[in-house]
Amino acid sequence: MRMLSFLLFTAFLSAHAEGTAQNITLSARDIPLKQVFAVIKKQTGFVVLYNEQLIKDARPVSIQAADMPLKEFLQTLLKNRSIEYTIQGKTIVLSRKSIGETAPPAPALEQPGLAARPPILIRITDSTGAPLVGASVTVRQRRVSGVTDGSGTVSLPVQEGDVLFISFVGYDSRSITVSRTQLAAGRITAALSRSESSLSTVEVSLSTGYQKMPTYQMTGAASVMSEKEYQQRTAVTGNFLESLEGKVPGLVYNGQTGELTIRGVSTFDAVKTPLIVLDGFPTEIDLRSINPLDIVSVSVLRDAAAASIYGVRASNGVIVVETRRGKSGKPVFTLRATQAFQSKPDFSYLNYAPASEFVALQKDYFNIAKTSYLLYQLGIYKMNPVEQILFGMTQTAVSNPLLTQEQADEKLAALGAYDNLKEYEDLFYQHRQTTNLNFDVSGGNERSTYMLGGNYVEETPVNRGSRNRQFMLNLANTYRFTNWLSLDFRGNYLQANNSNGKTASYSDFMPYEHLADANGKPLPVALAPARNYMDRPFMDATNQQLMDAGLYDSRYYPYQELNSNTTTNKLTSTRFQGRFNARITPWLNMDIGGNYERQQAIVDQLQTDEAYNTRILINNMALQDPATGKALFTNMPQGNILTKTNNSTTNYTLRVQANLNHRFGTDHELTGSLGIERKQLRAESYKTTYFGWDGQTLISKPINMSALNATTTPAFADLGYYTSFSSTNYFSQGEVDTRFMSYYGQGTYIFRKKYILTGSFRIDQSNLFGVDPKYKYKPLWSAGVNWRLGEEEFAKDWGWAKSLQVRAATGFNGNVPSSNNGSFLILSTGLNTRLNTPLTFTDVLTPENQSLRWETTRNYNLGIDFTILENRLSGSVDWYNKKTTDVFGMLDADPTTGFNQYNANTSSISNRGLEFLVNATLLRSQKFEWRTQVTSSFNYNKVLSVKATEFANSQMITSGANIIAGQPIGALYSYNYGGLNNIGQPFVYDRTGKQNILAFYGTAQVDVTKEDLIYNGTITPKYVLGMNNQFRLGDFDLSFLFMFYGGHVMRVEQPNPYNISFYANNPLQGSANFWRQAGDEQTTRIPGFVRASSAAPGYYQSYARYGYEYANEFVRKADYIRLRDLVLTYNARSAFFRNLGLNNTQVRLQAQNLFRYTFSGNDIDPDAINRLTGQRFLETQPFYSITLSAAF
């Protein structure tokens, strides 16, 4: 709350600041003066008035300004020109310089014969009706001109027949003849169309986090998304990364997990995700603290020349996000409200066997693979309902009198007649609803600007008993203390509260069991969670006897867990950053600043005394009164159990940087920066548990810690043979401290505006590694060149080569480990509770390795940028080659050292590929426009070398547990499955055609080698194509994004009767069609149950089933196409809204994931399956939203 108050107080101060300066940021080449005036108006709110004749013959402007004061900017702009300026309030008046004494100029609005005429209101908009601020309007016959204000209007005195010439940067100019009707109405409205030929005149700025530069100066591979492009779709989930999909070449986004990769994966153990940079500084806190609605640009740095300035954290690419800041002028309020809906999951996609088939499988398992009934009599196994019926035909201890065959069949049929999947969906799942409210206000004056924004999100997730709420506050202020000293300050506060009840897994019980009665009261199921036969090894009658002795009911009630086992997560994050800029000379300035981040997640898990885990723990810890036989709760008190976990991270960055921007004559230009940076990341975690906790009095009770840690037989023998719990499940503490010290520099040299050289270096030091100078001071660097071929004299007449440029770059960047690695011993302490007397211990996680060093990636990039057909078609092509060496991997150790393995720099990985970006305007008119953007990429990943351990067996390869040299990460191998022999044993072929029945243990082990397996391909998409079409018709905009992912494969899980056994997943439909007798091998390839006895005919080890489960014939191509989103926007531009003071009013309808087609069979969604094992999980349902927004 103190942080929130501080942010509000800072915003209050900003809103009342006063001063005398304003800043301009512009990078432009050979553009008209008019366009510069429009930029001045947009960034400062100052309007430029001038006589059209004054600038008619003015030469084009080339200027580089970064946060330059307005007066200094005007002086630079008008240097060596016969034009001078004066500032009157918020107006800049231009006039011709006088010879001798200069008289104060006057605005060019006073013309003979017009001064007495009443002015008419002229409003200029774009083709969508949005006002154009800073548009130039000139009365040709009178040489009178003006510039439109914040509402897109200007007042000029005109008369009938006058011709108005209207122009605006980036738009086609237009002439209008004033009519008598317009004069009578007192208003003229004119719309301009965007000019394709002028789009490239004002360069788009790319941000690296350390500096901004025009994209034409880049020698590496980078992409920039403007605010308009990024905000084209609504990030309904709140994850800003989802809006990058299909917009950036080389980027692969997983909508299910939210994970993102750039140009492939180049590590086994280290960080695999891109570095996120927020407003100039890397961020380590939850991405929910980045409000997608505040984003004004996203720069994606894909190669070393673009990203190596971040050194050892740049190997996976860098995403630089810039958020909104205030603008000078009167306060502007923006409101945005979004309501979203998503239906609950569709479980039919999982293809589970219905209850009737499940019953049949359990019956078959009982008859074929059952163990001795003695195990049930001894209480080792708990019977499921089918077993109770079948045992009831022969055992009076189960059924007295014995069941007849007819009675048993009737009971089995009754079980199979009810399927609880629909009941499960209704009890545990619901439709998802999300409400997102966003508000901000921005403004400022000549000394400071401010932006204060708030965001509130309330969500009802698909899991019943869950609720998410989130509040965010953002502040962005700028202060200019003098003409040479300024401060940029930003603050962010996030509070997210999530609560949920435990959602039971569908594999926790049998599909024929009722979960609640007609009144909604929870019902018990036969077995423990995950259909565990052993956690509660006694029958219902025994359970009742134990309850009579004072113990808790030991049965598992899945539906009861929803309210008795709840978790709340309160996430609070705070982020502050500030940066002072001191201008030393016109070409040299200094940045001194840093950021501070703190995030705390407090997780409370409350398990009441009705929760299954609480009841089992208290029962097993109970003592028995020798006199009465009743339970005594001396060791463990009765009541609730509250486990509280506190995870916090504290990070800071300090940076001092010198910036150079100097032009030498007309041919030479040099920009660069040199800096030093210190960073620390500290993470702490604590977990404690309160037993017998009372939520009203906040009182808990002591426990016998020795008894909790002891491995002993429970006091009540019927509870089992032994009980083993550990205090580490309830109490723990951890701490990680990582520090970096970095030195860096980067520079750009431009010769004659067409030859560009870039270079950068960075030295990173960290406490992760030792002090060996060989590795401590090893720099990561990059170098690149850009030939702007379109600027050459011989290319002037090549219309298609106007903006053609060729780029080439190379360099190194690195990566840091994600697991416990270091050049020194890393220790772990713990408590061994497997002994009668628990003992503390210290374990060496990794041995000392002084040669451990960064993973290093060498990058090569060659690119071409082009613009043809008068800017109707533009794009880029990039080829890259990345080779990562010193990759962390496990290595067999000398046994005499006391270690089996250790982590070392053992491997190398390569990624090669092509990337394409094409922007095309296919049709364009005053009322209709059709634009298309296509991004595509190809990535070829390969493990060049790996010093791996020996394979324990072939299944270690087919399951993906081992990395294979010569193949990509995510390589999929399969057995050459031959089917079943005449006694039902599954077999596989080796490369000679020999049949093998796999057996991994015993004296007669049988296995195949890697060469006998079939390589199917990679589970990672190699080809990614995004096609975004945008249509404009009048006031309506329509866009849709298609995504194609291809070049990869997936395994598809097959029916398997074995899955009805305990600790397993649910069997799929068709599992009952397994081998039963000789001849069945002609009609089925599904192995039957493993016989209970190794002496039984047809017995085989269960490992032989891997030949079927990981068979080559069950691997499919995973290529698919998906309609990722469809967006319809209505832009309300009528006079009604303008009269209400509302601008940019929009209504947006959006639908996501409407359509998907899988080329190898539409029954499988490649995004909803584990491509390695073939196990399916729930598909993402379509997401619908409506958004209303307005500014005033």
Does residue 582 lie within any of the structural domains?
no
Continuous H helices in 767-806: 773-776
Looking at the fold, whether 174 and 256 belong to one and the same domain comes out as no
E strand map for 233-326: 251-253, 260-262, 275-278, 281-282, 295-301, 318-323
Judgement on whether residues 120 and 186 belong to the same structural domain of the protein = yes
CATH code of the domain in which 91 resides: 2.60.40.1120
Mean pLDDT over 1117-1123 rounds to 97
Assigned token pair, 478? 């700028």
Q: Are residues 222 and 194 in the same domain?
A: no
Band (198; pLDDT cuts 50, 70, 90): very low
Average pLDDT estimate for 402-413? 93
Distance CA 118, CA 103 (A): 28
Instruction: Give the pLDDT score at 537.
Output: 57
Confirm whether 1064 is domain-assigned: no
Residues 194 and 224 in one domain: no
Q: How far is CA 766 from CA 206, 325, 679, 1140, in A?
A: 29, 34, 9, 58
- Separation of alpha carbons 448 and 15, rounded Å: 8
Whether 785 is in a domain gets the answer: no
Distance between CA 248 and CA 262 in Å, rounded? 9
Residue 595 lies in a domain: no
Of 324, 357, 375, which one is at a domain's C-terminal end? 324
**Which of these three, 265, 297, 324, is where a domain ends?**
324
Q: In CATH, what number is assigned to the domain containing residue 242?
A: 2.170.130.10
Cα–Cα distances (Å) from 656 to 306, 311, 479, 579, 743, in that order, read 21, 17, 19, 9, 10
Q: Are residues 247 and 282 in the same domain?
A: yes
Average of per-residue pLDDT values in the chain: 85
Residues 50 and 188 in one domain: yes
Helices (H) and strands (E) in the chain, counts: 20, 57
- Paired residues of 451 in beta bridges: 442, 476
204 DSSP assignment: P
Residues 185, 265, single domain; the answer is no
Give the pLDDT of residue 202. Answer: 44
Task: With cut-offs at 50, 70 and 90, classify the pLDDT of residue 99.
Answer: very low
Range of weakest confidence among 38-52, 194-208, 473-487, 685-699:
194-208
Q: What is the pLDDT of residue 209?
A: 87
The verdict on 88 and 38 lying in the same domain is yes
Domain hosting residue 72, numbered range: 32-198
Segment 453-473, tens digit of pLDDT: 999 999 999 999 999 999 999
Residue 857 near residue 883 (C-beta atoms within 8 A): yes
Higher pLDDT, 195 or 131: 131
Question: For position 1099, what pLDDT does the model report?
Answer: 87
Distance CA 319, CA 651 (A): 19
**Whether residues 247 and 279 fall in one domain:** yes
Residue 721 covered by a domain: no
Residue 55 domain-assigned (yes or no): yes
Q: State the pLDDT at residue 1031.
A: 96
pLDDT of 628 higher than 60: yes
Structure confidence by residue, pLDDT tens digits, 504-544: 999 889 999 999 999 999 999 988 887 776 666 567 788 89
Pair 177, 61 in one domain? yes
DSSP secondary-structure letter at 543? H
Q: Are strands 467-480 and 485-501 parallel, antiparallel or unpaired?
A: antiparallel
pLDDT score for 1045:
96
Q: Span 594-616, mean pLDDT?
A: 95
pLDDT per position as a tens digit, 824-845? 656 666 666 555 566 677 767 6
- What pLDDT does 200 receive? 40
93 inside domain: yes
What's the pLDDT band for 20 if we cut at 50, 70, 90?
A: very low
Are 164 and 260 found together in one domain? no
950-964 pLDDT per residue, tens: 677 888 888 887 788
Domain count, the chain: 2
pLDDT in tens, 306-352: 777 888 888 889 999 999 988 777 888 999 999 999 999 999 999 99
* Helix locations, 261-322, DSSP H: 304-307
Query: The whole model's pTM is what?
Result: 0.84
177 in the same domain as 94: yes
Judge whether 836 lies within some domain: no
Q: Examine the fold and report which residue of 324, 349, 365 is the final residue of a domain before the chain moves on.
A: 324
Pairwise CA distance, residues 22 & 89, whole Å? 13
Residue 725 has pLDDT above 70, yes or no: no
pLDDT confidence of residue 375: 58
Report percent pLDDT > 90 for the chain. Answer: 50
Task: Output phi, psi for 1191, to 5 deg.
Answer: -125, 145
